Structures are given as C-alpha cells and as structure tokens.
Chains A and B, each alone.
Chain A
Amino acid sequence: MMDLTVIWAFIIAFAVFAYVVMDGFDLGIGILFPTFRVGQGRNRAMNSIAPVWDGNETWLVLGGGGLFAAFPLAYAVVLPATYPLIIAMLLGLVFRGVAFEYRWRDERHTKFWDLAFFGGSLIAAMSQGMTLGVLLQGIEVVDRAYAGSWWDWLTPYTLLTGAGTVAGYALLGSTWLIWKLDKGVQRHARYVAMRSAIATIVLMGAVSLYNIFLNAEYADRWLSAPEVYFAAPVPILTAIIAIALLRSIVRGRDHTPFWLAIALFFLGMAGLGVTMFPYIVPPGLTIWDAAAPESSQIFMLVGVAITMPLIIGYTAWAYWVFRGKVGEEGYH
C-alpha cells in the first residue's frame, strides 16, 4: 500500500499542516488584533510575526501547487466546489498581507489597515475552515468535474468547521504571543488564550460528533471494531493534551502552551486522516483516482527530497535570528 501516491498524500498533508500551524498563528493574531490596545500592544503583536509571515504563507502555495501537481483532479474538483470560499480567502489574504506594510506607511490610516488586518485574517480563517467542511461533507463529482451547485458550501456544518478553525487559529496566535511578549501584553495574551482554548476544544468536539452523524462510513471508522482500536487513541490523546494545555496557560508557562496548541492541531489532523483516508474528495475520489502519473510523482519527489531539508533549515534559521521576546524597542 505504501506507494508513491500515498507518499504524496502525506507530503500534501504535511504542507497543509505546516501551513495551518504557521500561518495559523499569524491569522490568529490578526483575528485577535482588535482586542489589543492601539499602540504598543498592536505594534508588538504584529512585529512578532512581521519577519516570518511571508514564509509561513508560502506553505499555502505549496499546498495548492502541490495538490495541482500531485492530485490534479482533486484540485480541479475542490476549487470550483468551494469557489466563493477560495475567492473570499484570497481577498482576505490580500488585505491581511498588505496591512503588514501599509499600516506603518500611513499614520492617518493606521486604524483602517488594522481593521483590514483583522477582517482579512478572520475571513481567510473562516473560509479555510469552511473549505474543510465542504470537503468532509462530500463533493458531487460527475465526469471528472464538480457537479454540485454553487451554494453547497454554505451549511450549518461548514459554518461549524469555519468557527472551529477561527477559534483554533486564535488559540495558536495567542499562545505564540504568550511566548513572544512580556508584561501587560503577555497577560492579555494569556487571558485571550484561555478563552480561545476552551472555544477550540468545544468546537473540535462538536465537529467530531457531527462527523459521526454526517456519513455512515465515518461513523463506522470511529465506532465499530476493529477500526475503533486504531482510531481510539486520537480522542483519548486529544483529551489529555487539552487538559495539559489549559493547565499550562493557567500556570503561566511561557512557550509550553504554544507547543501544546500545535499538538492539539496535530491530533486534529490525525483525526482527519482517520476520517478521510484514502479518499481525497469524499465520497467518490480516492487519492489513486486523482493522482498524477508516476513520472510526475517521481520528478517532484526528487525536488522535495532535495529542497525540503534546505527549506526547513533556512526557515528555522530565520526564526532563530528573530528569537526571543519582542520588547518595546524591538527584538532583544
């Protein structure tokens, strides 16, 4: 079973996970931006990600570009099916991205670009979460093309997955800020992190329960033997991590909450894998149905094998250069 297509499914999953975590905390900071005070609070929050956000967002391009290359049929089906969400996400990211530069360039309109930073981040996060919901609730495919209507993306379920993603990103953003800031702003981040953590855990639970009722096959995987023996560790570990996360926030830990928030996302991703595999576009398309030919897979795999260690290396270096608390005068 461990063929090239499965390897590619894991590479795409890795890119999506890397994106969700890394741009997740950027978008989360955007979502929480209005709760920070104008001036030092907002400046420091934004400066904690200014040098790295562009690299973080690049994982989204890898996720999209990788899907196009490795699973062209999935790319060609999912994007028309989620058309309004993708367009909204892209436009949200436009506002979010330019705000990093614009808000410093125009002191009379800083408030406007702060609002753009918040709104862009919120819309992008919500759209991404709803896109996941559309995928999980199933996409109608006829003759290698999307065959549903263009309102299929808007259901109570997709709204729930969207809200869950917004809460989760806010959790990542606030725990990142706990790590990168100090004094009053850090206390504020901790306060928001607690609320985001509770919202994330509740919404994750709600989405998981909804999944079981959404589709008989999903229910089988989570509730009947022997699948349940493989699946059960995921919710159990999630519960343990969730409790540890809440404790670390209450106890005022510095960087532990951030890593535990990432662990929570990792388990969410694992749960998603259990739910979907081997389908890439439920209910009809498996990863093998959508896969590019072997020659394309091998050509790209060589590139990934060579470049990925380098990418991880210099990305880590960039984070290292800007390590430490973001103080009032910049990085210490």
Chain B
Amino acid sequence: MFDQLDALLLARIQFAFTVSFHFIFPSFSIGLASYLAVLEGLWLRTGKQVYLDLFKYWIKIFAIAFAMGVVSGIVMSYQFGTNWAVFSDKAGPVIGPLMAYEVLTAFFLEAGFLGVMLFGMNKVGKKLHFFATLMVALGTLVSATWILSVNSWMQTPVGFEMGANGQFLPGDSWWDIVFNPSFPYRLAHTVTASYLVVAFVVGAVGAWHLLKDKTNPQARKMFSMAMWMAALVAPLQIGLGDMHGLNTLEHQPQKIMAMEGHFDSHPDGAPLILFGIPNSAEKRVDYAIEIPKASSLILKHDLDAPMAGLDTIPDNQEPPVGIVFWSFRIMVGIGFAMMGLGIWSLFARWRNGLYEWTWLHRAAIVMGPSGFVAVIAGWITTEVGRQPYVIYGLLRTADAASPLDAPAVAASLLAFVLIYFAVFGAGVWYILRLMGKPPATGEVEANHGYDGPIRTAGITPGPTQNPGQAEALPSEREDA
C-alpha cells in the first residue's frame, strides 16, 4: 500500500515536470511561427529588407525552440501509456482519436514543411517558401486546437457513455466531444497567451538592442511590433480570461472556489481576496486583504449575488487551495503588468519616445520572460484546480495510474529531471546567445549548408570559428 502511494506521487511529479517543461516550448513556437509568417508576408508584400532580416534572425531561434518542443512532446505522447495506463485504457476510445487527429492534421504538417521552411529558401521560390512557413504556423495552431480539445474534455467531459468494461465510450456525436463546454474558452485563452509570450520575448530582445543602439532599424521594428501586441492583445487576453473564468464557475465551481480562496459560502456577496495566505487546515485565508463583494461582481455581475464556498464540497473532492490560489494570482498579476507596459508604450509612441525612453526598454526586458511564467501559472491553476480528478468528477487521478513499482518511476523521474535541465538548459543558453547578437542588415539564414550553420552562429564567419572543419578538409581529400 505504501509503495503504491509512493509510485503514484512520483508519477504525478513526473507528469507535472515533463508537461510543464514541454509546455514552455510550444507556447513559444506557436506564437513565433505566426510571427515568422507575418514577417515573411510583410517582406513579400512590401519588399522591405528589415522584414527579411527579422525573419532570418528569428528563424534561427525558432529552429532550436521547435526541436526542443518536438523531443519533449514525444515524451508526452508516450507518457499517458507508461505512467497512466488505467487512464489510457478507460479514456482511449474518446480522447485517443482526437490525439490521432492531432498527429494526422498538425504534426505531419509542421514536420513536413519545417525542412523547407528552415533550409529551402534558395531551393523553392519565395512564394512556395512562404507557403511552407504558413503551413508550419497553421500546423502549430491546429495542434493546439486538438490537444486543448482533449484537455478540455478531461475538464468538462460530455458526449460519452460508460462501457460495461469501465471504458468511456464515444456517444452519438463526436461534435459534442470535440466542442465540449470549456474548449472554445480554453483554446482562445491559450493561443492568445502564446502570442503574448512571443510578443514579450520579441519586445525584450528589441529593447535590449535598443539600449545598446537606438538606431538599429531591426531592433526598432521588432520593438514597435511587440509593443503594439502588448497594447492590443494584453487587454483582450484579460477579457478572454474573464470569460474562461465564468465558464469554469459554471462547470467546475470547486476550481473557482480554490482560485478565489473562498473556504466559506457568502450568501450576500463574496469578497475579492487580493492577497492572503490560504490555511487549508483551519479552512480560512489568513491575513486576507479583501474588497467586499467584488468577487460576486466579477463572477456574477451582481454585488449581492450569493456564492457557495468550499464548505459545500466534501473534503475528498476539494483541490489543494494554496497552489491554485497563488498560481492564479501570479497569472493575473502578470496579465495586468503586461497591459500596463502596453499602455506605457502607447504613451511613449504618442510622445515620440518609443525608441528613446530607456526606462521603458528596461521594463520591457524585465517583462521578457513574464509570458512563460504566466502560461505555467495558468496551467497550474487549471490542472491543479481540477484535482483530485483526472477526468473531472468521474475518474480520480489516484485511480488512473499504471501498475508500476516505485523504484522504476523514481529512476525515470530522476533521469528526466537531470536530462531535461542539462539538455534544455543548453538549448535555452544557445537561444539567449543568438538573442544577444544584434540583428543586422543582410542577416544570414539558418542554412545547414556546409559552412552555413557555423556562420549562422556568428555574424563574422571565418575558418577560425571552426577549427575542426578546417582540419577535416585535407583528410577528406586524402581518402578521396
């Protein structure tokens, strides 16, 4: 019994670790693929060199991020079976086909056109290359659509019947399963989040190079584009988040109770707890700073609307309050900070200070990684908030695991942690190095020709950069 509990806990840690790590890369590559498509489209339309330079600058970063997304994603597609075999057996007939559709309509599309996008600029025409870029961008969006449909079905399961063997079986309509109640909100909120992730990364890189040289035309262009995104999309995202929250209140009220820290029911208007320390043992929020009735106003659009609290939920069906309470506040706080930077940039633009105001640039650099933090915090909010269930209300996480021995799971968890930090740490370091180099006119592309890849790593190509290659040339001649 003790062993079983251990294996379960380890499997949960392993899934949380691998999925959180993985989620970082797609949330970057979904937005970046779209940004690259926009840049290449603008280049084809206007013929301006600056767009081509930016395209070539960012595609090198995209190549590394995409590779990390692919390899960490394959882990996810097998982890359901290795660690969550009971879940796989029971839910496979319903969610398996959606994931198969993701492979068929998205993964092949991305992978099939990625080679041409990365290496084919000189081999196919400009228009065909643009088509390849569009297909990669489309593939990332289609992929997000299917996997969020799967996730949403697990959060708000509908359209199924229970089979005699304990499996969830598809009901009459696949439409109901795919377009389950939380899916449209989750999709809109997540894809928009991905665009914001990229906007703030691009903005930070632009700002970094503006601080060094405010005349750099590529840095100016990318900073300007990113700040338009911040100003326009951050408010939109807050609105989408609000709608997603109302949807969650309707379908997963416990999650909202945990996010709000509402241990008690409030029959005549619930307060909005801005900060506090949730105390699950005593079932109260310590040191709470509250705005009276504001929670009812936000969630029910009525100051005096009654709101149920966790006191109405049996203890064994409650999510862990502390984690959800905090991760939600981190996400929302970042959302408003993003909007603040967007508004600041509008003001700077109006006063002709967009490329001059160094404090704005410094703030943009600080906010560079904020999108990733917000995405992970949001993910934790929604995933921890639906506990203790893996299929909401129907299958408990504790009943979904594989029959594995604890040492096997412990060993694999350790391997994942060590290897992910080493490998993806190196990748992030390479990306930061590319970002540290200023974008230049006549930027070279990510061509894996024979001297290409080495050259793309630096602005000044030269044989000294690659002594191995220089040595190799004569030796190849030798045996030729």
Partners in one complex: yes
Contacts of A55 in B (CB 8 A): 108, 111-112, 114-115
Question: Are A38 and B102 in contact, with the CB atoms below 8 A?
Answer: no
Contacts of B123 in A (CB 8 A): 321-322, 331
CB distance from A185 to the nearest CB of B (A): 7
A145-184: CB near B (< 8 Å → 1, else 0) gives 1110010000000000000000000000000000000011
- Decide if A122 is an interface residue (CB 8 Å cutoff): no
The answer, yes or no, to whether B103 is at the interface (CB within 8 Å) is: yes
Q: Give the residues in chain A near B112, CB-CB below 8 Å.
A: 55, 311, 314-315, 317-318
Which of B80-88, B249-257, B281-289, B370-378 lies at the interface with chain A? B80-88
A98 contacts B427, C-beta separation under 8 Å: yes
Report the Cα distance A40→B115, complex, angstroms.
21
Count chain B residues whose beta carbon lies closer than 8 angstroms to a beta carbon of A: 95
Which residue in B96, B447, B472 is a CB contact (below 8 Å) of A70? B96
Residues of B within 8 Å of A35, CB to CB, are none
B2 at the interface (CB under 8 A from A): no
8 Å CB interface, B309-349 against A: none
Task: Tell yes or no: B457 within 8 A of A by CB.
Answer: yes
- Give the A-B pair count, Cβ closer than 8 A: 292
Query: Does A187 sit within 8 A of B, measured CB to CB?
Result: yes
Q: Which of B64-72, B179-187, B225-233 interfaces with chain A?
A: B64-72
Binary contact track A295-311/B, C-beta < 8 Å → 1, others 0: 11001100110011001
Would you list which residues of chain A between 54 and 69 have a CB under 8 Å from chain B? 54-55, 57-58, 60-62, 64-66, 68-69
Selected interface stretch from B44-52, B269-277, B389-397, B403-411? B403-411
Contact B108 A57 (CB under 8 A): no
Q: Bound state CA distance, A198 and B427, in angstroms?
A: 39
- Among residues of A, the one whose C-beta sits closest to the C-beta of B420 is A94
Asked if residues B453 and A104 are in contact (CB atoms below 8 Å), the reply is yes
Q: Tell me which of A37, A101, A314 has the highest count of chain B C-beta atoms within 10 A of its own C-beta.
A: A101
Beta-carbon contact of B71 and A94 below 8 Å: yes
Closest to B123 in A: A321
Rounded to whole angstroms, the CA-CA distance of A78 and B89 in the bound complex is: 11
Say whether B472 contacts A311, CB under 8 Å.
no
In the complex, what distance in Å separates the CA atom of A100 from the CA atom of B234? 35
The 6 closest A-B pairs by CB, nearest first: A39-B472, A72-B92, A51-B115, A69-B96, A79-B81, A104-B453
Q: Can you add 15 more A-B contacts, CB < 8 Å, to A64-B81, A90-B75, A293-B163?
A: A46-B448, A55-B115, A62-B100, A65-B103, A68-B100, A75-B92, A75-B96, A80-B85, A95-B423, A98-B71, A101-B430, A188-B479, A293-B170, A314-B113, A321-B115
Q: List 7 A-B contacts (CB under 8 A).
A: A51-B118, A58-B111, A104-B454, A111-B468, A145-B85, A145-B89, A321-B116
